[in-house]
Amino acid sequence: IIQSADLATGVGGKILQVKQSTQTSRVSHTVTDNVFSDISGLSVNITPTATSSKILVSYHLQFCTTVGNYNVMTRLMRGSTAIGIGDQVGSSRPKASNVVWTNSENYQGLQMDNMFLDSPNTTSATTYKLQWTDSYGQTIYLNRIITDSDARYYPVTMCHITVQEIAA
């Protein structure tokens, strides 16, 4: 199913407010196979000014994983509802917003970027957040690559989630 979230021609499009949450710390998390959990520090609250407003959500994640061949998946949440995810196919496949496949390289550096135009249809405070999991219960390390040593070739990165209210 293809869905269109275009704004009406000649109407709206003005950015009414922008909110952002950043995570600059190194965060590690050992996940339970295919069980999504919140990514620490990557949630943002916004209160739309009109029920007709759209919320444009964008995010960037930089992370690495332990050795192995498996999938790292993320999903975007509005409150407790997953949004911007794929359709259900079969009974075992997780519905995600992004996925990267790792190979056997130790501590492979990875990144994910995405944008989604949401229609929350509310003027109540709304929380957008990111969750992650992997397919084999490995450890994921946010804002770190390869080795966590104090050396010039091991940079520290940052991640963010940004929401923009767009007038409809």
Q: Per residue in 80-135, pLDDT tens? A: 999 988 776 666 666 677 677 666 666 667 888 999 999 999 999 999 999 988 87
How far, in Å, CA of 26 to CA of 92, rounded? 31
3-class secondary-structure state, position 149: coil
The reported pTM is 0.85
How far, in Å, CA of 74 to CA of 68, rounded? 18
Q: How many CB atoms lie within 10 A of CB 51?
A: 12
Phi-psi region at 84: left, alpha or beta (left = phi > 0; alpha = psi -120 to 50) = left
CB of 164 closer than 8 Å to CB of 56: yes
Q: Among the listed ranges 16-20, 33-37, 48-52, 145-149, which one has the minimum average pLDDT value?
A: 145-149
Give the chain's end-to-end CA distance (angstroms, integer).
Answer: 23
